[in-house]
A and B are shown apart, each in its own frame.
Chain A
């Protein structure tokens, strides 16, 4: 019953990668879909949080001020399937020194105009050392990663969690019995049991909407397209281009997170463009699916079992022979 990783099922996917939907018996599945969350354009409005709650009719879950910047949601949970993190940083001058190059237009130099008189700051003053605000405010909308190798799915004993035809991971609340095995299994701490209910809940990537050809509620609402939804392959291409563009524009810290099919979870179905280390956003730097080696372990176990059985058989035979010999 185990979903194998990098084993036979992995070889069935394109380019040697797992194709989670096809590998789990969905005939002619649509392309795997996902989220690309580009935090460099996130304005921290939390429309994603609200649109998610409205669509999925999730309850409000707490009215206390966290004093963690503008983050009063604090984390993903059973009733919070999108969470916007706010990170306030003090950094050296963030103002760029050059105008980002316009697309297909003449670029104009920045200082073609002579400065006003002698008063306009010809001489170096201490003001030279105090340019713009030395602050950076990172905002990032977090969500279930819909891992290629999903530990929650692997450990679910009831079949409540399943891999959809879209390659996403969804909890079926009519099946879930609230055992909670999935909770510690998740390397991101995403899935959670609702206290008054016991069952586990998390982002479904709006499974119901996907079935009707609609995009997830959060992606639809996002005012700046920080949350992009689409076929994962396309998103990965787009994300790579975006990182290149940011690097060119003088944002060397831009990097992708969760996009790599070779990472510890086989790549995320929801991946991110970050402007700092993942830990800064509260994301694990190197997530590992705890069930990563489950297949190999099963095979080992099976082998060991066989060996044991063989050994037992041999031993029994030997014993029998010995007995026989003694007799």
Chain B
């Protein structure tokens, strides 16, 4: 009877007649299954806190686990950065981590084989260990040109920006221990010039602010960044500012989704940003619209520059010190006047001179990438240069600046950038109106600025402007360098980079750094916290070599391999092509799609003895030998390729614990939610167990070359079914410990006597009190907007850098509206919304004695505590290789001549490497220039991620942007007969690719030097593998590099475009060869030598 009633009750008609739903469309219609509906998140066993693995915004995630499987991933509403929101990529992480595209089996391709075969993980690990030791032994070098190098150039590694800090730490530690110097990651390719540009300007190479603070800006200039598309969740803070009435300006070659949300868009020619920013700097100076009190007190505006210095205005486009043979500058003449006047002030002071001599005039030392070592410590310069407080002295920086930028008039800006004067002036007016005591403006940029042959100087130009306007160190101000990978900031800080050691200590150079003393002394400044570099360096050596590191053996300094020049990722590819580099690790990076000149990348890999690829799926860099573009063209034959290829499936962020450092410089900890399946393992596991194997194999060896490996501390606890090393133990080592093994609370506790150890001094404090500070998660609603109890920021948990400058010289806030950190007289402390980025308790009126050095030499109004003189650098007297002031030069490939300095089209010191695989286009005044008449700029789309390894295999993301395309204006489409929705072929001297055509008004033809210039946008995400396939934009790009940071120029090049698909097979290289013939391209084309030559004609 009861059953009958229940059955009856499930019958909608019965319920309609007896219940409250006469319509029969509501409660009466509810089916039993609907009644039982519960969200699957209700049924989960646990919710694990995590961080999105895509871009560097670092959105919080909650990972729902049921029956040891991840069943849902959503935004973490507690996160002060993302507030629970996710972009399409973040929203697709369930598919990324649990989808069928992921591999779980190790694969092996034998030399000359046509097929993969499966391999068990243990065997694969043993085979790799054997190959590492063999190649290392075969290619070991003790000396180079008579000095110790203790290294192998036979092995290289690329990848780390997508990995955890702890993983990068083990990669760098193990490979350095093995003597491998060619260790690189995406940070080289994306933001290395940021480190050089920001580091030399302010003393640290990270963003000066954090994204949430953008909400307090009165004006936001987004330039060189497609913020809304590449960092959608971070863009909410721009929208917050806009909602409060802030002006939002987007300056970009293309009208993007960012432009659509800005108050206005300023289209400019790709590669002309320094001319634009120089124009704004001139506007500020000519109108004396700078924030004078700030500029005088906090910048080097008043410092006098050496009498020997000559500006581009004096030398027709170059600075003093240029050696036209080697295409390098001797920067000695750029120094402040009378640098050694304080020689009597302390024994350390003459250091400055030694450093200057070290870098000046030695191209090989310059090639070692020293500019990036200012990531957390400025360049060496006089601590107390002569000053003119009135800023009227003709050689004071302010006047030097004024003369340098006098040329950058609105007319010139219009001519060079293609930006109408009225629009340019509107930007100037907006910026000036929104800067000063009461107001602040922020700059936001990304790789649209960094990826140029003058990339570091792009960043410098914004730094100069923001210092002049008084916007650094203040709320709503600053410069946000938007990073593109989950931990690309971290992979610079704990660098998988050839030229750096953790904390931006330089990798030793064989000539400049022959012992510990010369290494430390040539690095550190006479004043400020970078003076203590010896403590940071010795503590690192203690962390790596433990008890073996003793004062009498220079703390094992000689275990460190030495640089002899540039060993950046592009130098590595050349070394592969030349047969010198034989083994290659790719860890979460896909250079066959993502690096410049992808064909050269693949040809280089085809010369390797062995290649290890660790990734989720079979990316292009793993399969080029089987089905790569050169197999199709016949340039390579699978049977001829002797490279052994190992594929190791990687664990995802949900399957390992560790920290990412986001674009705010915040270390955020993500917890492992489940164990990885099959052979998938973390990179921490891979490096740890590889290192363990290598040490076991070398046990008992008396060969001196094995000493460094045997001395390496490598005793991390392992847990779980896979013997996963403890990431927390690695983080503890990074944090450092004191004499009694206690975790250090910050880097000021580090000593240079070997009593402390620390794996990365700038991260010291992340394990303060024995607590993983990166895992702090006080919800944003339960704390102040600076969120000081969420995660941990380097350095010393400071959220806005240089925040001493948020107060006036007397220590009071510049204005109530912009109060941030100020001097509290009763407590004699700096207080406010953030930890002061300053010396604790140092009174604003403090003036040190002439004898003081280091931290004690800092004045109460020196906000830039990592700088040699405590000031923000408008003018860079040392630390950069291409000039003390940003100067407009044309890109390597440009359709126009230099409108400012006609005798110097390109930077006179950019890095070129013309070789058959990497030819340059004729300069605008060389014959054949017209063959590649259009500007190409590469870019990102919201729906995909960098080289596609984490998006092109995802059905949800791939369907949103299913095919590679290019964007052209209707005018260019008409000129070239391109059809909307049809196909086009783009050709450069490097390669030719095909793309679907989007004809759009968003691409705006510009008038440059009186002629129409067309720009073509190409997203760089595609390659031949995955669900969504297409040609790689980077096939078109040449390797031409910024001399400071060795970043390549992706953002401005030239090409031809023609309707229709590209030829197949052997006809493709023939097409490229035909273009080269037409343009008359040789090894000399576009070279600096030719530039110099034509100048002398």
A102 to B240, CA, bound (A): 12
The answer on a CB contact under 8 Å between B235 and A127 is no
Residue of B with least CB distance to A106: B438
A162 to B261, CA, bound (A): 39
Q: Contact string, B642-662, partner A, CB cutoff 8 A, digits 1/0?
A: 000000000000000000000
The answer on a CB contact under 8 Å between B75 and A125 is no
Comparing A109-117, A179-187, A189-197, A263-271, the segment that makes contact with chain B is: A109-117
A99 to B431, CA, bound (A): 12
The answer on a CB contact under 8 Å between B26 and A26 is yes
A38 to B955, CA, bound (A): 28
Question: Within residues 252 to 304 of chain B, which ones have a CB less than 8 A from any CB in chain A?
Answer: 255, 257-261, 263-267, 282-283, 286-287, 289
The answer on a CB contact under 8 Å between B433 and A54 is no
A2 to B16, CA, bound (A): 11
Comparing A43-51, A231-239, A308-316, A319-327, the segment that makes contact with chain B is: A43-51
Q: Contact string, B935-965, partner A, CB cutoff 8 A, digits 1/0?
A: 0000001110000000000011111111101
Given contacts A63-B959, A95-B264, A133-B255, contact A24 B245 (CB under 8 A): no
Comparing A205-213, A279-287, A298-306, the segment that makes contact with chain B is: A205-213
The answer on a CB contact under 8 Å between B24 and A1 is yes
**What bracket does the count of chain B residues touching chain A fall in?**
35 or more
The answer on a CB contact under 8 Å between A67 and B961 is no
The answer on a CB contact under 8 Å between A159 and B12 is yes
User: Nearest Cβ in chain B — how far from A122, in angstroms?
Assistant: 11
Tell me if B125 counts as interface (CB < 8 A to partner A).
no
Tell me if A121 counts as interface (CB < 8 A to partner B).
yes
Tell me if A161 counts as interface (CB < 8 A to partner B).
yes
Tell me if A16 counts as interface (CB < 8 A to partner B).
no
Number of A-B contacts (CB under 8 A): 316
Q: Which of B40, B92, B429 contacts A110 (CB 8 A)?
A: B429
Given contacts A63-B1028, A72-B959, A73-B960, contact A220 B38 (CB under 8 A): no
Given contacts A41-B261, A132-B265, contact A54 B233 (CB under 8 A): no
Tell me if A142 counts as interface (CB < 8 A to partner B).
no
The answer on a CB contact under 8 Å between B244 and A102 is yes
The answer on a CB contact under 8 Å between B42 and A99 is no
A156 to B87, CA, bound (A): 36
Question: Main secondary structure on chain A at its contact with chain B?
Answer: loop
Q: Which of A3, A63, A90, A208 contacts B23 (CB 8 A)?
A: A3
**What bracket does the count of chain A residues touching chain B fall in?**
35 or more
Residues of A within 8 A of B957 (CB): 50
Residues of A within 8 A of B287 (CB): 113-116
Q: Contact string, A59-73, partner B, CB cutoff 8 A, digits 1/0?
A: 111111101011011
Given contacts A25-B20, A135-B1001, contact A121 B425 (CB under 8 A): yes
Question: Within residues 70 to 106 of chain A, which ones have a CB less than 8 A from any CB in chain B?
Answer: 70, 72-73, 88, 90, 94-96, 99-103, 105-106
The answer on a CB contact under 8 Å between A211 and B422 is no
The answer on a CB contact under 8 Å between B257 and A44 is yes
Residue of A with least CB distance to B285: A116
Residue of B with least CB distance to A119: B409
Q: Contact string, B3-33, partner A, CB cutoff 8 A, digits 1/0?
A: 0000000001000100111111111111101
Q: Contact string, A207-242, partner B, CB cutoff 8 A, digits 1/0?
A: 111011010010011111100000000000000000
A54 to B86, CA, bound (A): 12
A172 to B32, CA, bound (A): 10
The answer on a CB contact under 8 Å between A212 and B41 is yes
Residue of A with least CB distance to B26: A24
Residues of B within 8 A of A117 (CB): 286
A111 to B429, CA, bound (A): 6
The answer on a CB contact under 8 Å between A24 and B12 is no
Tell me if A108 counts as interface (CB < 8 A to partner B).
yes
User: Nearest Cβ in chain A — how far from B867, in angstroms?
Assistant: 30
Residues of A within 8 A of B1001 (CB): 88, 90, 134-135
The answer on a CB contact under 8 Å between A119 and B411 is yes
Given contacts A108-B433, A113-B287, contact A50 B88 (CB under 8 A): yes
Residues of B within 8 A of A103 (CB): 244-245
Q: Which of B87, B235, B957, B1000 has the most CB of A within 10 A?
A: B87
The answer on a CB contact under 8 Å between B423 and A136 is no
Residue of A with least CB distance to B23: A3
A102 to B245, CA, bound (A): 4
Tell me if B554 counts as interface (CB < 8 A to partner A).
no
Residues of B within 8 A of A165 (CB): 26-27
Question: Within residues 250 to 266 of chain A, which ones have a CB less than 8 A from any CB in chain B?
Answer: none
The answer on a CB contact under 8 Å between A54 and B25 is no
Q: Which of A27, A120, A131 contacts B423 (CB 8 A)?
A: A131
Q: Which of A62, A99, A109, A209 contacts B245 (CB 8 A)?
A: A99
Tell me if B1004 counts as interface (CB < 8 A to partner A).
yes
Tell me if B803 counts as interface (CB < 8 A to partner A).
no
The answer on a CB contact under 8 Å between A172 and B31 is yes
Tell me if A297 counts as interface (CB < 8 A to partner B).
no
Q: Contact string, A163-174, partner B, CB cutoff 8 A, digits 1/0?
A: 111000010101
The answer on a CB contact under 8 Å between B961 and A212 is no
The answer on a CB contact under 8 Å between B91 and A51 is yes
Residues of B within 8 A of A159 (CB): 12, 24-25, 28-29, 31
Q: Contact string, B812-843, partner A, CB cutoff 8 A, digits 1/0?
A: 00000100000000000000000000000000
Residues of A within 8 A of B27 (CB): 24-27, 165
Residue of B with least CB distance to A64: B962
Tell me if B90 counts as interface (CB < 8 A to partner A).
yes
The answer on a CB contact under 8 Å between B23 and A24 is yes
The answer on a CB contact under 8 Å between B228 and A110 is no
User: Nearest Cβ in chain A — how far from B741, in angstroms?
Assistant: 44
Residues of B within 8 A of A220 (CB): 74-75, 84-85
The answer on a CB contact under 8 Å between B91 and A23 is no
User: Nearest Cβ in chain B — how far from A197, in angstroms?
Assistant: 17
User: Nearest Cβ in chain A — how far from B901, in angstroms?
Assistant: 19
Q: Which of A26, A106, A121 has the most CB of B within 10 A?
A: A121
The answer on a CB contact under 8 Å between A49 and B88 is yes
Tell me if B912 counts as interface (CB < 8 A to partner A).
no
A214 to B242, CA, bound (A): 29
Tell me if B569 counts as interface (CB < 8 A to partner A).
no
A103 to B218, CA, bound (A): 11
Tell me if B72 counts as interface (CB < 8 A to partner A).
yes
Q: Which of A128, A162, A208 contacts B422 (CB 8 A)?
A: A128
Residues of B within 8 A of A137 (CB): 255, 257, 259-260, 1002
Residues of A within 8 A of B86 (CB): 47, 51, 221, 223
Residue of A with least CB distance to B27: A25
The answer on a CB contact under 8 Å between A113 and B39 is no
Tell me if B1021 counts as interface (CB < 8 A to partner A).
no
A211 to B409, CA, bound (A): 63
Residues of A within 8 A of B963 (CB): 63-65
Tell me if A177 counts as interface (CB < 8 A to partner B).
no
Q: Contact string, B225-244, partner A, CB cutoff 8 A, digits 1/0?
A: 00011001101100100101
User: Nearest Cβ in chain B — how far from A8, in angstroms?
Assistant: 9
Which 7 residue pairs across A and B have the least CB separation, nearest first? A24-B26, A25-B21, A102-B245, A60-B955, A95-B264, A67-B981, A25-B20
Q: Which residues of A contact B (CB under 8 A)?
A: 1-4, 9, 20-21, 23-27, 41, 43-47, 49-51, 53-55, 59-65, 67, 69-70, 72-73, 88, 90, 94-96, 99-103, 105-106, 108-117, 119-121, 125, 127-128, 130-139, 153-154, 156, 159-165, 170, 172, 174-175, 206-209, 211-212, 214, 217, 220-225
29 residue pairs of the A-B complex, CB under 8 angstroms, read A20-B26, A21-B26, A24-B25, A45-B88, A50-B92, A51-B88, A55-B72, A61-B959, A62-B962, A67-B980, A88-B1001, A95-B263, A95-B426, A99-B245, A100-B242, A112-B432, A112-B433, A119-B411, A120-B409, A121-B422, A131-B423, A137-B259, A156-B25, A161-B25, A162-B26, A208-B38, A211-B38, A212-B42, A223-B233
Extra 17 A-B pairs, beta carbons < 8 Å, given A1-B16, A49-B960: A25-B22, A43-B261, A47-B88, A47-B91, A49-B88, A72-B962, A90-B1001, A102-B244, A108-B439, A116-B287, A130-B420, A130-B423, A159-B25, A162-B29, A174-B34, A217-B74, A223-B235
